[in-house]
Amino acid sequence: MNQEDVARYYASFGEREWQRLEAPSIGAIELAVTLHLLESHLPKDGFILDLGGGPGRYTIWLAQRGFRVVLADLSQDMLSIAQAKISEHQVDDQVEAVLQADARELNEWSDSTFDAVLALGPYYHLPEEKDRQRATQEILRVLRPNGRVFIALMPRYAFLRRTLYLSDEREHLLDDQWTRKLLEDGWFENDIPGRFNHGYGVDPQQVEPFFEGFGFKTVGLFSLDALTAGLESVVMEIAEENPDLYNVALDLIKASAGDPSLLGMALHILYVGQK
C-alpha cells in the first residue's frame, strides 16, 4: 500500500476513525491502555510529534496536558477532521502545526527537534523492510537525546485472526503461499476492495532487537488489548450494564499489559524506547 492508497483508505473512514477509539467494542480498551502507558513513560513536559495521528485524538490529549504538539499524517481528510477537533477542544495554542507528512521522510524537521515521538499507526502500513528502517532512522534523527518513542505495531496473528473472522476474506487461507507470506514475513495482502491491504504484522520476539539495532534502548513492549481480543461484545455488555466492573476489568488489563505471554495474541502492541 503506497502513501496514496493509505490516504484514500483512511479518507473513507471520515469521522468513524475518531469515534473508533470511543466504542468499548472496538477501540476504547486500546485507547485507555495507550493513555495509561503514555502517562507512565512520557516526560513531564516538552515538544511532541504525533506522527500518523489521524483525526487528532492523541494530539488533543497531549495538548490538554500542556505539551506542545505537532500533528502529522498522510491523509489530508484526517487532518481536516483533526483541525476541527483541535479548535473544538480549544487547544490551538498548544498545537504548533497540523500538516501532511510521510513517516519515512520527516524533512520538515531538523535533527533533535522533539522530546518524544508517537507513531501509533504508520508501521501497520510498512511491509517493506527498507521502509520500516527508513521510518525508524527518521524518528531517531528528529528525537532529542534521551527522547522517548511510542510505536504501535500489529502482531501477525492479529491479521490471521482478522482473516478467520471475516467471511469474505477467509478464502485467503486456502492459499498456502498467502499464509506463509503472512506468518513468515509479516506481509498481509487483501484483494477485497476497500479493505485494509498491504499491512505488516510483527513477530513480537523480533520487535526489541529491531529497534535496538538502530540505537534505541527498550523501555518496554506492551499489549494494548490482548485480554479482550475476541471478547468485544462482552466488553460492550459490561460497560453498559456494570460500569464499576468495567473499570475493575480495565485496571486488570492495564496491569497485564507488560506480560510477554500476551503479546502474540494482542491486536495491537506498543513499543516504548529511548534514544
Domains in the chain, number: 2
Alpha helix locations (H) across the chain?
3-11, 16-19, 28-41, 57-64, 76-88, 129-142, 156-165, 176-185, 204-212, 232-241, 243-256
Identify whether residues 35 and 134 lie together within a single domain: yes
Identify whether residues 170 and 111 lie together within a single domain: no
Identify whether residues 220 and 248 lie together within a single domain: yes
Identify whether residues 178 and 240 lie together within a single domain: no
Identify whether residues 150 and 37 lie together within a single domain: yes
Identify whether residues 69 and 12 lie together within a single domain: yes
CA separation, residue 220 to residues 40, 63, 150, 208, 269 (Å): 11, 24, 10, 9, 10
Residue-wise pLDDT tens for the chain (275 aa)? Answer: 456 666 566 656 667 776 776 766 668 888 999 999 999 999 999 999 999 999 999 999 999 999 999 999 998 999 999 999 999 999 999 999 999 999 999 999 999 999 999 999 999 999 999 999 999 999 999 999 999 999 999 999 999 999 999 999 999 999 999 999 999 999 999 888 878 888 999 999 999 999 999 999 999 999 999 888 878 788 888 988 999 999 999 999 999 999 999 999 999 999 999 99
Domain assignment of residue 187, given as a range: 156-200
What's at 267, amino acid-wise? Answer: L
Identify whether residues 177 and 44 lie together within a single domain: no
Identify whether residues 69 and 143 lie together within a single domain: yes
Identify whether residues 165 and 268 lie together within a single domain: no
CATH number at residue 265: 3.40.50.150
